Chains A and B, each alone.
Chain A
Amino acid sequence: MSGIRRRLAGVAVTWAAVLAVVGVAVHPERCPPAGQAEARQAIEAAVGWFGANVDDQSGRFRYGYDAEAGTDIDGYNDPRHAGVLFSLYQAEAAGVVGAAAIADKGLVYVDRHTSPTADGAGAVFGPGRGAPTGATALLVAALGQRRRATGDTSRDADMDAYGRTLLGTVTDRGAVEAVIDAADRSAAGTRSPFAIGQVMYALSVLEPLFPGRGYRAAAQRILGYLATERDDAEEQFPMLSDHWASYGLAAMGEWGPPPALDAAVRTWIERQLGLFGVQVRYESQRQGGITTLTRGPVAMPGGVGTVGEGLGNLARVVADRTLVGTAASEADSGLDADASAPGIDVDAAALAERMACAAGMLIERQVRSPDQYPRADPAAVTGAWFRLGVTRMDDQQHTLSALILLMPHLEP
């Protein structure tokens, strides 16, 4: 019997070794509970952060802040400015009264940094030479949200002018130039991982406002390229989770008629859902202590926010039967619309779990009291999200947008 005992002890060692490897590969996931009321409070606190950190004269927001040192961090850039306006108008559209007024202060900065194109037909947000395309695209997205939230059409002409510029950045294949030169409207050969989704979204917003101007075909061309060519053509590896493209897809659902998404696009959407999902699962395994060694510190709040944005938008796309569940071929489509669109293959319960988990993590991580950082300016920390003591305005932007999109999916 002693031989058997020794052998079983050896078996126990084998089990322990294998389970140790498994324990490193996967950790328990912790998703703080999140309800709509808590999400609403977090949204309002984030809007409050922008209200307390905008400069009325310049229209700029506080860019970054080190709460441990109590010092500001510079590095202001136009795409993030436009992104902040976008999230604030989004909040106003979601019923947060006063958010648009804060964003409107930021239009001062926009108007000072907008240049006409050389032919006078278009406009660029950013420096006249070498402006990042994403800034103009996100500004269009922001103005679209502004129009939706306030009903004000006074900036429609601006949107169309920006849109004409953006059309010039889309290649015949559907790629997007990452840099705009106001003189000739585009700079050939520049690419960016996120500008493509941002431009697709902007054009998707413009299509129902200005039908027949080519926005629809260009947006669909981009989507087809994203789904079938981009990763190879632009050597994008690993595959990118693209929250801006998810906004674009959701916006296409508001077209009349919406496009029929072909099998390649549906597969791409399923992969995007997987990428967003695994990021939530991974992030929820970061619980301090020993997981700091195996998983690292928590991700940048803006990064977690983009995951929430992606999930919130794609949940809308998945539920939109006119987008993913109908069969229609369009003459102007750059996509190969097939005859039988079976919808998106996704576990709806799992999607709901990931959305609730993302919201829960964001709500839990928001700074609610300035006491958390005694040396910091209370206005710079209250309502913000920090990683390793540092925040940047797009941390608030993406988390705010994520919570707005996720809130309807949470328990009342």
Chain B
Amino acid sequence: MAAVAAVVTVNPLRIWPGAPGRSRPQRFGCAAGGALTVLIAVVAISGLSGPLLDVLGINAPTARIAAGAALITVGARDMVAGPARVEPALPGWKAAIVPGAVPHLFGPGLGVLAVSAGADLGAERTGAVVGVALAVTAAVMAQPSPQSRTGARVVRAGQALTGAAAVLVGAALAADGVFDI
């Protein structure tokens, strides 16, 4: 469930058209570097989720509701908004950070999900499942995005479907948080 939630909140098809890098090696470097950066951030956040939730006065089931709400919001956006555009990038390898990691890979959905998953699964398992999601996303980002009108439409439709999946997964997460003790 957490791996699926991570994939749909990152939404590889939404960020694919905006992935930085002109050549395949450049794209791969940015995608891999961005994914690694985000993975480190997610592990750090999930590792700190216990103290963070204590400070906020929120327990694990309620954090799941929060993650569900974030996924629903992000998923709804992905259903109606256009794909990511080619972003202004930092020079050289730093493009993996901006826009590779932020804003493409690491958004509020993944951030809140990392906190919730950290409380439920621990940092190691959260890192593992989010790592899988980031690897899938990086593999997509490393490919040249479709340039044809039809190809772009297919990707756009895929983005919307993934957004719809995020809404459903978010609702399931929220329901799980509600009905947990």
A3-B88, A4-B98, A350-B59 known; A273+B181 contact, CB < 8 A? yes
How many residues of B are in contact with the other chain, CB < 8 A? 34
- What A residues does B66 contact at CB under 8 A? 22, 25-26
A28–B178 contact, CB under 8 A? no
A15–B108 contact, CB under 8 A? yes
B181–A29 contact, CB under 8 A? no
Name the contact of B69 in the complex, choosing from A14, A26, A347 (C-beta under 8 A): A26
A277 to B62, CA, bound (A): 11
Whole-angstrom distance between the Cβ of A22 and the nearest chain B Cβ: 5
Whole-angstrom distance between the Cβ of B181 and the nearest chain A Cβ: 3
- Does B73 sit at the interface, judged by CB under 8 A? yes
A7-B87, A7-B88, A350-B61 known; A25+B174 contact, CB < 8 A? yes
Closest chain A residue, CB of each to CB of B85: A7
Interface centre among B72, B98, B111, B181 (most CB of A within 10 A): B181
- What A residues does B68 contact at CB under 8 A? 25
B179–A4 contact, CB under 8 A? no
A14-B107, A30-B57 known; A22+B88 contact, CB < 8 A? no
B57–A29 contact, CB under 8 A? yes
- Does B146 sit at the interface, judged by CB under 8 A? no
A304 to B60, CA, bound (A): 21
- What B residues does A271 contact at CB under 8 A? 179
Name the contact of B181 in the complex, choosing from A11, A26, A351 (C-beta under 8 A): A351
- Does B40 sit at the interface, judged by CB under 8 A? no
A277–B180 contact, CB under 8 A? yes
Interface centre among B66, B68, B102 (most CB of A within 10 A): B66
- Does A8 sit at the interface, judged by CB under 8 A? yes
B62-114 with Cβ < 8 A to chain A: 62-63, 65-66, 68-70, 72-74, 87-90, 98-99, 102-103, 107-109, 111-112
Closest chain B residue, CB of each to CB of A275: B179
A131 to B87, CA, bound (A): 73
A18–B63 contact, CB under 8 A? no
- What A residues does B1 contact at CB under 8 A? none
B58–A274 contact, CB under 8 A? no
- What A residues does B57 contact at CB under 8 A? 28-30
User: Which secondary structure dominates where chain B touches chain A?
Assistant: helix
How many residues of A are in contact with the other chain, CB < 8 A? 33
B61–A18 contact, CB under 8 A? no
Whole-angstrom distance between the Cβ of B173 and the nearest chain A Cβ: 11
A14 to B180, CA, bound (A): 29
- Does A379 sit at the interface, judged by CB under 8 A? no
A28–B56 contact, CB under 8 A? yes
A11–B103 contact, CB under 8 A? yes
A8 to B62, CA, bound (A): 29
B62–A26 contact, CB under 8 A? yes
Q: Fill in one digit per residue for B155-181: 1 if any A CB lies within 8 Å of its CB, else 0.
A: 000000000000000000010001111
A16-54 with Cβ < 8 A to chain B: 17-19, 21-22, 24-26, 28-30
Taking Cβ atoms with an 8 Å cutoff, the residues of A that contact B are: 3-4, 7-8, 10-11, 14-15, 17-19, 21-22, 24-26, 28-30, 271, 273-278, 281, 346-347, 350-351, 353-354
Taking Cβ atoms with an 8 Å cutoff, the residues of B that contact A are: 56-63, 65-66, 68-70, 72-74, 87-90, 98-99, 102-103, 107-109, 111-112, 174, 178-181
In the complex, besides A11-B103, A281-B61, 12 extra interface pairs with C-beta distance below 8 angstroms are A7-B87, A7-B99, A10-B103, A19-B108, A19-B112, A22-B73, A22-B108, A26-B58, A29-B62, A278-B178, A347-B180, A350-B61
A-B contact pairs, 9 of them (CB 8 A): A10-B103, A11-B103, A21-B70, A22-B108, A25-B65, A25-B68, A25-B69, A276-B181, A353-B59
